[in-house]
């Protein structure tokens, strides 16, 4: 699990909107790909899904007033979830600081 200090602070609702509008372009630009990304948001938990390459939620973000915590779910996948996590953390650091 990675933790990013929530400096701005960034609410779960605002982060969910940013993910839906900006994260796909960010990660696809970094990877030179065209991944489809889905999101599920309930209260302070946001699940990030990559349905073309990973079954079920790949990453979960838990939003608090002080921090954003990222958890990887699919560590046994053939796809490089560490790379997805790395780019999600980079995006979150840009948004939260």
Q: Please, which pLDDT band fits residue 77 given cuts at 50, 70 and 90?
A: low
Domains identified in the chain, total number? 1
Give the residue, 4 or 64, on which the prediction is more confident.
64
Q: In sequence order, what E strands does 1-97 have?
A: 2-5, 38-42, 45-49, 57-63, 67-72
25 lies in which domain range?
2-96
* pTM beyond 0.75, yes or no: yes
62, pLDDT greater than 90: yes
pLDDT value, residue 76: 64
Q: Tell me the pLDDT tens digit for each residue of 23-57.
A: 999 999 999 999 999 999 999 999 999 998 888 88
SS (H, E, C) 31-57: HCCCCCCEEEEECCEEEEECCCCCCCE
């Amino acid at each position: 699990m990675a933790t990013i200090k929530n400096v701005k602070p960034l609410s779960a609702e605002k982060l969910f909107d940013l993910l839906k509008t900006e994260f796909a372009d960010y990660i696809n630009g970094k990877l030179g790909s065209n991944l489809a990304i889905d999101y599920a948001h309930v209260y302070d938990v946001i699940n990030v899904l990559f349905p073309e390459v990973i079954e079920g939620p790949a990453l979960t973000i838990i939003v608090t007033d002080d921090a954003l915590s990222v958890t990887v779910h699919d560590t046994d996948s053939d796809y490089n979830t560490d790379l997805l996590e790395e780019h999600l953390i980079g995006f979150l650091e840009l948004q939260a600081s």
